[in-house]
Amino acid sequence: MIKINKKDSIIDIIIKIDNCKNKEIVLDFPFWHPIIHNYISLKILKAKAKKKNIIIITNDKTARKIGSKLWIKYSKIGDTDLLEYNYTKLEYTKYIIKRYFIELTQIFSDKTNNITFEYQKKYLLKNWKIWYFLIWLISIVLLFFFIFYFAVNKTYIYITPEINIKTKAENFIFKEVWSDELVDNNIIRLNKISKLIYLTNTFWTSWVNEKSLKRSKWTVTFFNELNEPVDLLQNTRLITKDWIIFRSDTSIRIPPSTYSSTWIIIPWKVNIPVTSTIKNINWKVVWNKSNIGDWIKLTIPWLKNNKDKIYAYTLWEIKWANNKYVKQLTKDDLKNAENILETKLKQKALNELKKQITDNNKKNNIIEELLWIDWVLQYSDFKIIWEKKLTIWEKLSEFELAWTIKISSYSYNTKKVLNQLSTTIQSTLLKDVETFLFINENSLRISNIIYKEKRPFKIKATAEVEAFFSHNFLTKKNNYTDKLKSIISWLPKEKALKVLINNSKISDVYIEIRPFFIKTISKISDNIIIKVVNK
């Protein structure tokens, strides 16, 4: 027997016939092979076989009609022939289904043989296997529709709950106790802690002895464009565009302006000696900036009338000022230095106290923190250490101050406070509504002092912390998920997403529908599965 494949051409079949030495050539064609439907192709195969008999195995009725004209023998495949002709159960099932489809198509679509309705009816009644096939096929389709549209249709909703932050508080008694004294859960032990701090710093004096500064001086040329004389008193101020101030050394009268033959105003010019001031108009020391070049314009400040008619120019450079000066210590310098040093000293003392607590935590494997109440932090033993005695108006540009200070406070075990707060939060939790996630340990603070005692040191205060909650979607007692299912049931996927994402208890949502070709949420509540995803 020669097994013919679906893709074998007539040349491939001829080669197989030539290689076969049997007297009878049995060709096993697959159903609806194009060669067994072609008269010329079958005639070529008959000629190539020569005196050998050709037997074609097929159940194709149309093929048998064509080949019978060439006296080719045909053989059907029966149930007993499956193993003999190397057909598997799956191949045979495919073959039968394909054969029934083709027969039904031919009997209902063949217009050339004038097949009537009565003939089609008799054919269907005679071939009862066709009915079984149709019933089987319809049952399979209905079963497939039921399984995938009702039984298998599931909607998976992955919800990320919205996280809510709530401030939770509880009253505690913070108390300084002896090491062997027993305390209950609401009493927090306080440990006395103190540290002595030393700090030194260098400061600069701010007062400049004006007599030690050299001023720039020379003459400027004054211009008077008015038709009347101008009287300038001694120490009249003149300023440049850079706000450098000069003063006239003498008083002088400037005659009025004259006119040329063409009636052009000729201003009267007078040279006046001037000297610079130590500070500019903003009361800042100018140092050697009062050395200016030639042809620099100077004006009289705040002159209301004719300020553009009376002015001066430097016809030569004005110089002789320098940066050499003598500074002196004042009371303000000393007071400012003490204030700055005190602020720095307190800040350093606080930092050193925190560091001491941190080192102690690492050493003893505990978690303690400074009791953050302003009046609990006590500073004492202020003491200035002088390297040398300073005198007011002493000539110096810098000086050094050193101070010591003692800081005292209390530390407490924050872990105990946080654990007690966490226990209280969980005990008051609405289990069917909320899910407690965690508390922000860095948010722990003392918000209110109820009362205090000095000896022994004792305060009753409110400790607050930020707690994070989310809605409990998975509890069986809470029917909130059932409400969500009823709202989105039978909605399109995109509309259901909008409904859920606009819910105040939901931060993010993802919907997966199975099978993939269904685009609406399942109508069966049990087939809508809600899962919580915590990011």
| Fold of the 2-102 domain | Rossmann fold (3.40.50)
pLDDT of residue 211: 66
Is omega for the bond preceding 255 within 30 degrees of 0, making it cis?
no
Q: What is the mean pLDDT of each run of 10 residues along the chain (535 residues)?
A: 79 82 78 76 79 75 75 62 49 67 63 54 60 75 71 85 92 81 76 90 78 78 90 90 89 89 86 86 76 87 82 84 72 88 91 92 90 86 76 83 90 91 86 86 90 87 93 81 90 93 92 85 88 83
CA angle, 59 then 61 then 63, to 5°:
95
CA distance 428 to 36: 85
For residue 335, the surrounding DSSP H or E stretch is helix 331-364
The amino acid sitting at 356 is Q
What are the start and end residues of each CATH 3.40.50 domain in the chain?
Answer: 2-102
Helix extents (H) in 414-506: 414-427, 480-488, 493-501
List of E strands, 139-278? 154-161, 164-176, 187-204, 207-209, 217-224, 230-232, 237-239, 245-248, 252-254, 258-259, 265-266, 268-276
pLDDT of residue 156: 93
Burial 28-40 (b: 16+ CB within 10 A, else e): bbbbbbebbeeee
The owner of tokens 């097994």 is 3
CA distance 299 to 245: 10
The owner of tokens 């606009």 is 502
pLDDT of residue 480: 87
Q: Which residues contact 528 (CB under 8 A, 6 or more apart)?
A: 154, 155, 157, 485, 488, 489, 521, 522
For residue 508, the surrounding DSSP H or E stretch is strand 506-514
pLDDT of residue 502: 93
Q: Are 460 and 450 in contact (CB under 8 A)?
A: yes
Q: Which residues contact 396 (CB under 8 A, 6 or more apart)?
A: 205, 327, 328, 329
The DSSP letter of residue 533 is -
pTM: 0.50
Nearest to 174 by CA among 186, 158, 160: 186
CA of 66: how far to CAs of 55, 56, 206, in Å?
Answer: 14, 12, 124
The owner of tokens 């809600």 is 530
pLDDT of residue 104: 65
